[in-house]
Amino acid sequence: MSDVASRLTTRFANPAQFLSVAEKAAPWLWGAALATLAIGLVLAFRAPPDYQQGMSVKIMYVHVPAAWLAMMCYSVMAGASAIGFIFRHPLADVAAKSAAPIGAVFTALALVTGSLWGKPMWGAYWVWDARLTSMLVLLFLYLGYIALWAAIEEPVRAGRAAGILAIAGFVNVPIIKFSVDWWNTLHQPASVFRMDGPAIAPSLLWPLLVMGIGYTLLFVALLLVRMQTEILERRARRLRLEAVDRSGGEGLL
């Protein structure tokens, strides 16, 4: 089994091989993501209003999956950064860098929709609630990670510096997850992923799960596209540097 895993790792560590696989997989992922999101939206519109929240509960179908994906994207980013440090996998920092802007958008979407949902529920768009505050910190971590990549021109150095931030910042993910259990908060406790089963009616739960799957497929499709773009940009940068080196050498001769 270790030999098989090693061969697979070596195979997909090759950027050219990855580009080939991603090119074939991308159309299927895009199709599956768009179809699942469409089904999820139809189910969400047909879902009954909540007996307490009324029609405002519909925001849940955009907000909750966005919050899930915000944490999942950061987990992917931190995990890829750790793999890059430990195994020197050539695509690890490409995956981490590519996941960051996607995660930042999901986090911003979660914050905006959470504020819109909070107004009718709490009477205010923003409160310094433990979960809201830790989600805001997550957005700043994403932006800081992206800024580090932009500030350092050399990819290897940029990947190392940004990777340290990603790994250190991962401590915020369990804080977000368990903030409703550790502190007094306006957010309700977990109602979907619970040891004793979901505490939400099936008529509301199924559209939420379908939307969560659609968001996940969308993330994977976007990640593949961004990784393809990043690999091609690095190739172009390397070719430009090689051209500069050759022209400089000819000038000295």
From residue 206, alpha-carbon distances to 32, 127, 194, 201, 220 in Å are 17, 30, 16, 9, 21
Q: Of 109, 111, 137, which is closest to residue 126 (Cα–Cα)?
A: 111
Question: Exposed, middle or buried: residue 142 (CB in 10 Å: 0-12, 13-18, 19+)?
Answer: buried
Q: Can you give the pLDDT at residue 140?
A: 97
pLDDT per residue as tens digits for the range 134-144: 999 999 999 99
Q: Can you give the pLDDT at residue 52?
A: 65
What whole-number distance in Å separates Cα of residue 242 and Cα of residue 228? 21
pLDDT averaged over the chain? 84
Which band of pLDDT confidence, cut at 50, 70 and 90, is reported for residue 198?
low
Sequence-ordered alpha helix ranges (H) in the chain = 2-13, 15-46, 60-87, 92-122, 130-151, 155-169, 172-182, 202-252
Q: Which residues pair with 114 in a beta bridge?
A: none
pLDDT per residue as tens digits for the range 151-175: 988 888 888 999 999 999 999 999 9
* Cβ atoms 97, 142 nearer than 8 A: no
H helix or E strand, kind and range, residue 59: none
Residue 24: alpha-carbon gap to chain centroid: 22
pLDDT per residue as tens digits for the range 70-118: 999 999 999 999 998 888 887 899 999 999 999 999 999 999 998 888 7
| Of 51 and 213, more confident | 213
Q: Can you give the pLDDT at residue 12?
A: 55
What whole-number distance in Å separates Cα of residue 102 and Cα of residue 34? 17
